[in-house]
Structure 1
Amino acid sequence: MGDSILDVMEQLVPIGRFSRMTRLSIKALRHYDRIGLLQPAEVDPSSGYRYYRLTQTRTAEAIRLLRGVDMSLDDIATVLADDTAPDVVDKLLDRHRERLAESVRVQQRRLTTVQRLITGKEPLVPYDVTTKTIDPITVVSIRRHTDKAGISTAIGESMHALYATVMGSAAELAGAPTVLYHDVIDEEQSGDLEVALPIAEPAGPIAVDGDMVRRTVDGGMVATTHHHGAYDEIDGAYHVLAGWIAEHGHTPGFPARELYLNDPSEVPEGEQLTEVQWPFG
């Protein structure tokens, strides 16, 4: 009598055959073994050759599918773990769906920009640099340390707390909401930023607590330009300003500033307007 289906499914197959069956490369399978994501059923002690059961193809297909939609290996491990609660899996998948949706939105904005360049509706370098002297300002602010991925969250949370404090006090707003970058924050390094609301002087009493402070931000000479478009596409403005400062023999200073000149809740993302100021000496 032939083997039952269960017997067949429990048979061992070498890594090469398992790779062809699952469309996962041998290199990937070895990596998944090292990190404990998909370990072979047996390893030959003399040769080190890996063998897998056919029942493991289900796990392999799940990994291949989730990697295909750019889910991280750490999240995949959590999704596939036997002790992960279903609601945790749902939250991970929903969070990843939001990341993919944001990626689509970013790519769509880039396509729109390219189309505008093709039709001549937008210059290749849409930044004009001017210089001016800015006065010292009094602000209520919160300073945060963050990496590039956390910038939006740090600004949003801090801005919400600042508005709640200022609006609940006798102080009056006296300028555009501002973020001061005390360090360069990019893919390579994290740093400090300071979210600030300018207030009029003499300001009425205002209670600050926790990380919130009331202080004077120095003025001085800045190179400045305007960015029209989504906040996460503002890097080009900094590149142009840095180039202008270097070309004119100046030394860039800190903090650089972003002043948000319209309300992002009232305009489309592509119409957000930001003034970027970079001090120099």
Structure 2
Amino acid sequence: MKTVTPVADLPQKLGEAFRAIAAYLEEIGASPPEATYAAYFNMDMNNLEVEMGFLLSETLAGKDDIQAGEIPAGKQLSYIHRGPYSGLEEAYRAMGQWLQENNLTPTGVSYEFYYNSPMEVPESELVTKIVFPLV
């Protein structure tokens, strides 16, 4: 599912999308996802362009706003963050610095993969993988 939203509304939009996708997957009897994800196509905090989905091992037909997609393969920089989402900003900063120091260019899209949620584990046990595909 894709949307454009102010960053302040992002948690609500993510929750709505993940619930809708989970209900659809249950409806069609699909295998459980490896993780949920958000893809950020810009960093405009007032008009954040974001795609939300589930990582699945199979390609499924879409329904309404829920569409099948594919995350492109290729070179990437990734970072696994353990702990509260509030620590992600520092991870992004460190990744940006590493990219600069190593003369690498990201494509402009960034991904966050969520392997658990605050509804399942304490914040200190959250696992989030950040990925920057590279040019």
Q: Taking structure 2 as the reference length, what is the TM-score of the superposition?
A: 0.88
The superposition leaves residues 138-164 of structure 1 with CA deviations (integer Å, 9 ceiling, x where unpaired) of: xxxx01111121111111111110100
What is the match of residue 41 of structure 2?
182
Asked if the contact 1:225/1:237 (under 8 Å) is kept, the reply is: yes
Matches within 5 A, 1:1-281: 142-186=1-45, 189-201=46-58, 203=59, 206-209=61-64, 211-281=65-135
Q: Deviations over 1:9-60 (max 9, x none)?
A: xxxxxxxxxxxxxxxxxxxxxxxxxxxxxxxxxxxxxxxxxxxxxxxxxxxx
Q: Give the Cα–Cα distance (whole angstroms) in 1 for the partners of residues 109 and 32 of structure 2.
A: 21
> Matches of 2:130 and 2:122 in 1, distance apart?
20
Residue identity over aligned pairs, in percent, reads 25
- Alpha-carbon distance between aligned partners in 1 of 2:7 and 2:106, rounded to the nearest angstrom: 21
Give the structure, 1 or 2, with the largest relative contact order (CA under 8 Å, sep 6 or more). 2
Give the aligned residue type for 1:219: A
Are the structure 2 counterparts of residues 156 and 251 from structure 1 closer, same or farther at C-alpha, using a change threshold of 3 Å?
same
Q: Secondary structure at the match of 1:254?
A: coil
In structure 1, runs of 5+ residues without a counterpart are 1-141
Compare the two structures and name the one with the higher helix fraction. Answer: 1
Q: Which has the higher strand share?
A: 2
Summarize deviations over 1:70-126 as a string: whole Å, max 9, x none.
xxxxxxxxxxxxxxxxxxxxxxxxxxxxxxxxxxxxxxxxxxxxxxxxxxxxxxxxx
The number of residues matched between the two structures is 135
Shift in alpha-carbon separation, 1:207–1:184, aligned structure 2, 3 A: closer
Contact 1:173 1:197 in 2 (8 A): no
Is contact 1:222-1:277 (8 Å) kept?
Answer: yes
Distance of 2:123 and 2:48 partners within structure 1: 26
Distance 1:223 1:177, change over 3 A: same
Alpha carbons 1:257, 1:276 under 8 Å: kept: yes
Gaps spanning 5+ residues in structure 2: where?
none
Under a length normalisation based on structure 1, what TM-score does the superposition of the two structures give? Answer: 0.45
Larger Rg: 1
Specify the alignment match of 1:46 in structure 2: none
Q: Distance in 1 between matches of 2:66 and 2:51?
A: 10
CA distance in 1, matches of 2:96, 2:47: 19
Map Cα deviations across residues 230-262 of structure 1 (whole Å, 9 max, x no partner). 224311111111111111111121321111122
